[in-house]
Amino acid sequence: MQKKEKINVGVLGATGSVGQKFIQLLENHPYFNLTEVAASDRSAGKKYKDAVNWILPTPIPEGVADLEVKKCEPGLESRLVFSALDSSVAGHIESDMAKNGYIVVSNSKNHRMDNDVPLLIPEVNPGHLELIKCQKYGEGAIVTNPNCSTIGMVIALKPLLDTFGLEAVNVVTMQALSGAGYPGVSSLDSIDNVIPFIGGEEAKLESEPLKILGSLDGDSIKDVDIRISAQTNRVAVLDGHMETVQVNLKKKASAEEIIECWKAFRSEPQNLELPLAPLRPIYYFTEEKYPQPRLHRNIDKAMAVSIGRLRKCNLFDYKFVVLSHNTVRGAAGGAILCAELMKAKGYIK
């Protein structure tokens, strides 16, 4: 696709840690051309390079560094906007933008559980995009990306649900520091330490998967019937959320059958060869000490989910380990993949 045929896009919350990841991942994107950055009044009016505290190891892309930061309000020229806004303001800003005809693809929690808003993982529930037709935003729309820990776990659960059925899930997370934004958790709290609490995280892990794995029922989603219990911890890892998961299946399955169904899992993003889609959504490791955040978080553009250590469990049927990149698959990359799917399916003209 030539540059002039690309869709112009903006990023709301462009100066934050997820906003920066959007900017990095949108550089030379084959479908999208980043033309606008927006943030709070503190940043608006400044050049992007002067407003941002750039924390990524690659330079600010040429063409973005000198963009003037705009306010997060209608008036932006791009019809498609990615939102990496702080959740204290995302709710009303995103509604306002959608009411004014913008298509908002958001990472923030605010609209995730709205009845008419898709909570989308393109490999898991691409059909939920149909909900957009029930929205009251006219030409505008809101589509959301799930919580960063939810995404990795649900990609691992989807093939199990489809093949064997699922009754119950218990998950314990070890979540990276970057998940708390910048500057995030103070060094004196995080080094040599584990913090056994992340505000609101356990409730998201227990509720979001039910909607994502649920079925489209007219103008809303009927939740899937699975019991989920979650415990979440912040650990001293920079990027990559690790989760230990225990599951009860509805049908009996051997370990070989489970591994085979993970390895065989493909979905619409792979069939459509979307630019950010991993070739394989799931990589299964047979080595007992894998997956590990530092070694495996970047597999397949940091969009793949790594799984390992599948074994029988004394309390549930099976237990295993899941790893996914929280700011790429779990945030900016996941949201861009949502927009790629929307474009490929004709939701963005």
Please give the structure tokens belonging to residue 258. 């489970």
Establish if 229 lies at the interface with ligand NAP (CB under 6 A).
no
35, 81, 88, 138, 323 from 9: Cα distances, Å = 6, 6, 23, 19, 30
Q: CA 171: distance to chain centroid?
A: 18
Establish if 13 lies at the interface with ligand NAP (CB under 6 A).
yes
Binding-site size, ligand NAP (CB under 6 A): 30
Minimum CB–partner distance for residue 334 and ligand NAP (Å): 8
Establish if 148 lies at the interface with ligand NAP (CB under 6 A).
yes
Establish if 293 lies at the interface with ligand NAP (CB under 6 A).
no
Q: CA 282: distance to chain centroid?
A: 15
Stretch of residues binding ligand NAP (CB under 6 A), selected from 9-17, 165-173, 214-222, 336-344:
9-17
Tell me the torsion sign for CA atoms 141, 156, 337, 345: negative
Cis peptide before 183 (omega within 30 of 0): yes
Establish if 170 lies at the interface with ligand NAP (CB under 6 A).
no
Minimum CB–partner distance for residue 109 and ligand NAP (Å): 6
Establish if 18 lies at the interface with ligand NAP (CB under 6 A).
yes
The torsion of the CA quartet 178, 239, 108, 103, rounded to 10 degrees, works out to 130
Establish if 338 lies at the interface with ligand NAP (CB under 6 A).
no
What part of residues 79-98 is at the interface with ligand NAP (CB under 6 A)?
84-87, 89-90
- Catalytic residue numbers, as ranges: 148, 241
11, 140, 273, 318 from 220: Cα distances, Å = 28, 18, 28, 32
Please give the structure tokens belonging to residue 33. 């051309």
Q: Give the CA count within 13 Å in the CB-facing half-sphere of 59.
A: 6
7, 97, 99, 140, 232 from 35: Cα distances, Å = 10, 17, 21, 19, 37
What part of residues 172-191 is at the interface with ligand NAP (CB under 6 A)?
178-179, 181-182
Specify whether the CB–CB gap between 277 and 337 falls below 8 A: yes
Stretch of residues binding ligand NAP (CB under 6 A), selected from 104-112, 226-234, 268-276, 307-315:
104-112
| 163 or 178: CB nearest ligand NAP | 178
As a whole number of angstroms, the distance between CA 291 and CA 264 comes to 19
Establish if 209 lies at the interface with ligand NAP (CB under 6 A).
no
Query: Which residue lies nearest ligand NAP, judged by its C-beta?
Result: 16
| 70 or 247: CB nearest ligand NAP | 70
| 196 or 199: CB nearest ligand NAP | 199
Establish if 235 lies at the interface with ligand NAP (CB under 6 A).
no
Choose, by CB under 6 A, the member of 7, 9, 16, 341 that binds ligand NAP. 16
Q: What angle do CA 221, 226, 229 make, to 5 degrees?
A: 115
| 107 or 135: CB nearest ligand NAP | 107
Choose, by CB under 6 A, the member of 7, 15, 24, 122 that binds ligand NAP. 15
Residue type, 344: A
Interface contacts to ligand NAP, rule CB under 6 A: 13-19, 39-40, 42-43, 72, 84-87, 89-90, 107-109, 148, 178-179, 181-182, 326-327, 330-331
